Structures are given as structure tokens and as C-alpha cells.
Amino acid sequence: MNSPAHTELVHSIENVVDALRMEGYVCDEHVGTAVYLAHHLNKPVLVEGPPGVGKTELAKTAAAMFKLPLIRLQCYEGLDEAKAIYEWKYGKQLLYTQVLKETLEDVLQGAKGLADSVRRLHEFGDIFFSEEFLEPRPLLKALREEAGCVLLIDEVDKSDQEFESLLLELLSDFQISIPEIGTVKARSVLPMVFLTSNNTREISDALKRRCLHLYIPFPDASLENRIVEARVPEVLPSLRSQLVTFIQALRDMDLKKVPAISETIDWARTLLILHADRLDADLVRDTLSVVLKFQEDIETVGAEVPSLVRRSLPDDA
């Protein structure tokens, strides 16, 4: 990136942490260091960790912080270059082919022999595979952004290993090769690239070598308290502390899916809507589905709700 407009934001790691916090993303210096180094080293960041810890949100917040457009590529099994990098405007090519057929006599008029006729037709073939007929997809769009952008390659672990190979040129040299056109390089300002992974499969060494690595775990109680305070400031401090303690206890249980930070925030908003000022067993049971997404987990926790509520109370309660 290295744009003068962003110099103040990345003057130090502390500045980065503060700037992210101003945009509503509360993090520690571990995360701030990764963003700081990504900016100064022009390196992509591979962000790994369990679902719901704020990996995608980090890229979105970085875009807001730098006031840059966010270009997002959502990965899935079977993703290929036609959806990720570019494809040809086949409809437009077909239309031009029809026009060429109708004007074929004019095109070939005066041609001397087969070789000359083929040469003239070949000129039209080159036109069909030119910039005019190119449909850019997220990766190519990111390279074409004049003032830079934040490129989010989300859940890269859901794509095939073959797709990872397509990313290597982009991640190492900020360029993409298109056989019919040539190499397309990033414009004056390089994109800031975030790749996220939920660790559903091992990412290749070749991709990891090209990236800075950042692992975001579930937050401890202190950090999660600050996150809820930033996102749902209307919640009473005592209730915020109680619900965070409850969530932390749930993450220690053997559940099919432990609650993510997003679920903590949703629960805080739910309790606010219900005008709650403290947790009790009935309230927790009525709202557990906001936090837990599997009936099996709800039933497991249901039996423990009274003791969990008691444990969430402050020591002097």
C-alpha cells in the first residue's frame, strides 16, 4: 500500500490498534502488529482461527480504517479462475461473431488467396480476446484499483488445492497472467490482502510462505468484555460482565459448536431488547437459541443453566 494518506494510521502498532478500535474492532497488539507489518512489508496476511472470532471483520474494518474499497472473494469447493480472476463476455463475443458473419463478404473483399483471407479473419479473433471483451472478477478488480483496496479472500480453506495454485502469482508479485492478453500488474498502489481460514484443511506451504501469519483465538474474558462494550455500549456493565462469564464457561464445555464472538454480541443485543438487567435461569433458557445453534447443545447446556448462572454472578453478589 504505502500511500501517504495512510501514514498517520500506521505510524506505530499502537496507532493501528487505536484506529481499528475507533472503527469498532477491539483487538490486542498481536492483531495490530499483523496489520502494521502487512502495510509496511506489502505482504498478504493469512488469518486463521475458529469460526466467529473476527477474521472477516478484521478485513472489513481495515478497509473502513484506510477508507479503501473492500473487494471480497468468497471461496467454495470448485471455485476456479472464471469466478475468481476473469472470464470472457461470451454473449458479446457471440453478438460480434454474428455481425462478422453478416459482413464477411466486406471483410474478405480484395483478399488475395486463402492465406490472406485467414490473416484477415485472425485479426478479428484477436479482437474477440481483448480488454473490451474481458469480464474482471474480484482478484483482477483488486489489481486494477487505482488508489488501492482491501482484498478479502474469505475462507480459502473451503476452496480446492488447485485454486491455491492460482493465488500464488498474485500473492507473491501482485500480478496475474492472462494467456490471451499477458501479465496484469497491480497499479500504483498495491492492494492490502487478507486471506481467512477456519482450519477445515491444511493450507499449502507455498501459500503460507507468501503470507504473514495471524492466528486469532477466542478472546479471554477481559478482551471479550471490551468487545461487547464497543459493540453494544448500552448494556449495563454488570450484565455485560455476567453474560461474558457465562459465554466463557460455555466454551469450556463439550459442545458441537461453541458460541462465537458474534453470538456474544447478538445475545447482548437480545438482552437489551428484553430490558434485562441481570441473568437468571428462565431468561437464559428462553434465549439460549441465540447463543447455541444445535438442539443437542441446547439440551446439554439446559441441565447446567442454574449452576452456570450462579457461576456468572460477581463474587460479592
CA 10 to chain centre: 21
pLDDT at 130 over 70: no
pLDDT at 62 over 60: yes
In a domain, 234, yes or no: yes
CA dist 91 and 75 (Å) reads 26
Number of domains, the chain: 3
Task: Please tell me whether residues 163 and 293 are part of one structural domain.
Answer: no
Task: Please tell me whether residues 38 and 104 are part of one structural domain.
Answer: no
Task: Please tell me whether residues 110 and 248 are part of one structural domain.
Answer: no
Task: Please tell me whether residues 182 and 237 are part of one structural domain.
Answer: no
| Band of residue 4 on the pLDDT scale cut at 50, 70, 90 | very low
In a domain, 139, yes or no: no
Across the range 213-222, mean pLDDT stands at: 96
pLDDT at 224 over 70: yes
Range of the domain at 304: 221-310
pLDDT of 8: 63
CA dist 30 and 130 (Å) reads 45
Task: Please tell me whether residues 33 and 104 are part of one structural domain.
Answer: no
pLDDT of 135: 79
Give backbone dihedrals phi and psi of 164, rounded to 5 degrees, phi first. Answer: -55, -40
One-letter-per-residue 3-state SS of the chain: CCCHHHCCCCCCHHHHHHHHHHCCCCCCHHHHHHHHHHHHHCCCEEEECCCCCCHHHHHHHHHHHHCCCEEEEECCCCCCHHHHCEEECHHHHHHHHHHHHHCHHHHHCCCCHHHHHHHHHHHHHHHHCCHHHEEECHHHHHHHCCCCCEEEEECHHHCCHHHHHHHHHHHHHCEEEECCCEEEECCCCCCEEEEEECCCCCCCHHHHHCCEEEECCCCCHHHHHHHHHHHCCCCCHHHHHHHHHHHHHHHCCCCCCCCCHHHHHHHHHHHHHCCCCCCCHHHHHHHHHHHCCCHHHHHHHHCCHHHHHHHHCCCCC
Across the range 187-211, mean pLDDT stands at: 92
Q: What pLDDT, in 10s, does the model give residues 262-300?
A: 999 999 999 999 999 999 999 999 999 999 999 999 999
pLDDT of 182: 78
Across the range 50-71, mean pLDDT stands at: 95
In a domain, 250, yes or no: yes
More confident residue, 56 or 90: 56
pLDDT of 1: 47
Task: Please tell me whether residues 201 and 263 are part of one structural domain.
Answer: no
pLDDT of 246: 97
pLDDT at 190 over 90: no
Task: Please tell me whether residues 62 and 45 are part of one structural domain.
Answer: yes
Q: What pLDDT, in 10s, does the model give residues 95-104?
A: 665 655 556 5
pLDDT of 134: 75
CA dist 168 and 164 (Å) reads 7
More confident residue, 178 or 37: 37
pTM score: 0.83
